[in-house]
Structure 1
């Protein structure tokens, strides 16, 4: 790609050229990035700058840093800001949002911080450095988009950060630590925004501070957050309406090497290449175990990597939402686990019978399927000339009854529930001497099944009624003693009165 003069922050970092693709179907472009970042970061940079040809990350960074650095020099706000931004990116500490990389005007520019880049090999979290970088990010975004009154300062890969601390993601200490960390970053952003207000003509927004949890597993973080909150409250007002928000561009987080986006949990213990994920290695290291020792303990039945509850992501979302103005959509409530079905399958070849009958002049066929012991397992009801809607409903009804029978519902329960159902067609049954009358087709079906599978020949006789007598049948007119009057009721007697004279 040639030799160019780049910021000294990139000197001494071994570079490599990868074939980067914005998406699997796009044409690959040469992307020059630090060799340790890997092909995933090359794809991410190609996705951030999709309309570019060959890419060099140092030069691409200079394209968005240079205008900010020039404004910083002109206003004397932060003369060294340009070099500091190069240092921040080269160390993979953080990155601005895609709009900043593309030098596009944005009403809500953002900056994402890689929490794990602030943790050294001894596991010490550099709180002061993170606070300083947050303030620089607020300054840089303000110079990049002076008219923007909403910023999105956020972080990524909280899951790995918690694993390095030896804290279970789905736990109260994890949520309290994430809350304290977010409050600390918010307070540092407030401080930087308040300083910028003194230089500008913005109306100003009142600084507020949330109460911190009682505990935090990161040593010194709660104290640092409380101190930053006191300094921000002392300033009184800030330039920006909101400051905290999470990136909506996964390529930015991939460029920083994040395994899991923002505050989401990891879904798998292995990466795309089949190796243990970084968070798993970090979790084992926090437990003082190597892979061999961990495997031995897991084979003995110990749950070293318990699966995260689906609701844990939503719980973390709810914990951070009071602090963060721009949140991703709340994770959907998990679907309840499907209850194990006890359905007893019917044999592939089964016995049964088919009965042809006519109810009130309307033909139907009943077909049955039986288990090997003769127990009823399924029914089919075929209608002769009924409408498609009625046929469809009857088919669905037969399937529902069959599923119930196969799951252990007693046929007696169905007979009790569905005999004497009343709707047309109804009346005399032809073709089945065991059932002379039926109040409906469904009534007939279960009278037939009761006779053939339960031996019940003593069911109360069906008394069909015309379909247009709903609410006016003999049973409906019967008195409900002691409340109703005996028939004929006064209203019915009045029907028989005649006008004799109008004199």
Structure 2
């Protein structure tokens, strides 16, 4: 086991989170978000709460714990706090059922889903009266209103729960298939159909999806036929159905180590730490590359691992429609891919060796050093402002301000917002700019700094602000009252007093 100091939110206090040693800080942050409170978190204690609430059978409890430790399945967010007011569910990590050299373990996958379905059905049977979060509101749904004389009882739940699949692209990488390929989509459809057939076993043949045209993966065809024959049997007492779908971004995916939630593709070859992602290593292995030979091929101009296009997400979405009960929101091919670590509030640190520039400038006779740090893609990630001849307080404030901006940039704050807020800010020292042609006059050091950043990183040169546009009233401490038009001195005028000590 290993203990991390982390928090679910950057503004929240750090918590001690104890996890298995091979789990990373992303999983620690996810567990801190799943378990409410501010104290220390231990995954063993946190998991025992919902395991004991879901089952009292020791063998089933051990199996649930094993699925979590193998990062194959974990309950949805509400079950971590033992909240049963809504439909329960589990998130299943497809990539965790891939064995190196053997492929997708379909039999183990079916056994795990059957265990989870039996737990969900038993939980629904024993805690159906607690699912008040799904009851209709009478004032919003008049059709459900009953007479005051007739007592209404909550109806039985329509489903026992939900199985949400995730990390599909990493699963395909583990079996050597590309996300944006016909074989990859065929394998994804077969896995989704196998999951839905398994969860619908015992519910009658009317609820079964159509089988896929081809399976591609070895051994998956036999598992599909076996589950289909069992699920297509007529029954007089059908079981409560368990529905299938794909997960949405959330802490459970982070706890399971999902590289991309649900059916989305993996858009990055690297982990946040800068190391190659597991899906990247799997795809290199499928092409008989090592990390060293892949680097050599890339330096030689070969495209070793092309990333999926934005249209690949839509193609996968269309292929999987009909093989699960609920599909997620329709993807937008025109939208740029989001970094899942920034979505979860994770910091994108700069590499130890990075680019940038240093600019020495004088503003109104006051010297300023502007330093920047850049990511590998050329975007700004660090800012340092150092005035050399100011007081210790002014110098410390400027350096602290630069550090605050750097933290914001590394957490995903847009540079445009900083520029809109601080360009043309007015305070001394101000004046003529010497040493940088990007500006001739600046109303403050921050005005110059952020206009320089706009020119360097946004390609937008902002014009100077006229000096007279920011002239302030004379200092009220100086006796600058003047006589009126008739030459009479102003009332209560005080003169200067010279004091010699």
TM, length-normalised to structure 2? 0.57
Pair 1:99-2:108 in alignment? no
Structure 1 pair 110–177 and aligned structure 2 pair: CA distance change class (3 A):
same
Shift, 1:121, TM fit: 3.2
Whose Rg is larger? Answer: 1
Counterpart residue number, 1:109: 88
Shift, 1:303, TM fit: 1.9
Counterpart residue number, 2:282: 282
Structure 1 pair 335–93 and aligned structure 2 pair: CA distance change class (3 A):
closer
Counterpart residue number, 2:167: 157
Q: Is the 8 A contact 1:207 1:232 kept in 2?
A: no
Shift, 1:124, TM fit: 3.0
Counterpart residue number, 1:130: 109
Counterpart residue number, 2:50: 64
Structure 1 pair 294–145 and aligned structure 2 pair: CA distance change class (3 A):
same
Structure 1 pair 139–106 and aligned structure 2 pair: CA distance change class (3 A):
farther
Post-superposition Cα deviations, 1:187-232, rounded to whole Å, max 9, x if no partner, equal 11122xx2xx7xxxxxx89432313222x33201122112211210
- Given the alignment, which residue of 86, 94, 97 partners 2:65? 86
Aligned residues: 304
Q: Is the 8 A contact 2:313 2:333 kept in 1?
A: no
Counterpart residue number, 2:246: 246
Structure 1 pair 248–106 and aligned structure 2 pair: CA distance change class (3 A):
farther
Any unmatched runs of 5+ in structure 1? 1-14, 74-78, 198-203, 337-503
Shift, 1:33, TM fit: 1.0
TM, length-normalised to structure 1? 0.57
C-alpha separation between the residues in 2 aligned to 1:110 and 1:271?
A: 28
Post-superposition Cα deviations, 1:400-422, rounded to whole Å, max 9, x if no partner, equal xxxxxxxxxxxxxxxxxxxxxxx
Counterpart residue number, 1:321: 321
C-alpha separation between the residues in 1 aligned to 2:206 and 2:81?
A: 32
Q: Is the 8 A contact 1:22 1:50 kept in 2?
A: no
- Given the alignment, which residue of 150, 153, 167 partners 2:177? 167
C-alpha separation between the residues in 1 aligned to 2:170 and 2:102?
A: 12
Q: Is the 8 A contact 1:113 1:156 kept in 2?
A: yes
Counterpart residue number, 2:222: 223
Pair 1:46-2:32 in alignment? yes
Local SS of the residue matching 1:104: coil
C-alpha separation between the residues in 1 aligned to 2:289 and 2:23?
A: 26
Post-superposition Cα deviations, 1:32-85, rounded to whole Å, max 9, x if no partner, equal 110111211110011111335211111111101112222xx5xxxxx6211211
Instruction: State how 1:178-217 maps to structure 2 within 5 Å.
Output: 178-191=188-201, 194=202, 206-214=206-214, 216-217=215-216
C-alpha separation between the residues in 1 aligned to 2:89 and 2:224?
A: 21
Post-superposition Cα deviations, 1:468-488, rounded to whole Å, max 9, x if no partner, equal xxxxxxxxxxxxxxxxxxxxx
C-alpha separation between the residues in 1 aligned to 2:276 and 2:300?
A: 20
Shift, 1:149, TM fit: 3.2
Instruction: State how 1:375-454 maps to structure 2 within 5 Å.
Output: none
Counterpart residue number, 2:8: 22
Post-superposition Cα deviations, 1:411-449, rounded to whole Å, max 9, x if no partner, equal xxxxxxxxxxxxxxxxxxxxxxxxxxxxxxxxxxxxxxx
Instruction: State how 1:227-306 maps to structure 2 within 5 Å.
Output: 227-236=226-235, 238-241=238-241, 243-306=243-306
The answer to which of 221-230 and 180-189 deviates more is 221-230
Q: Is the 8 A contact 1:248 1:328 kept in 2?
A: yes
Post-superposition Cα deviations, 1:100-144, rounded to whole Å, max 9, x if no partner, equal 111111433221112222222324322111101001111122233
Local SS of the residue matching 2:162: strand
Q: Is the 8 A contact 1:154 1:244 kept in 2?
A: yes
C-alpha separation between the residues in 2 aligned to 1:88 and 1:246?
A: 18
Local SS of the residue matching 1:42: helix
Instruction: State how 1:328-339 maps to structure 2 within 5 Å.
Output: 328-334=328-334
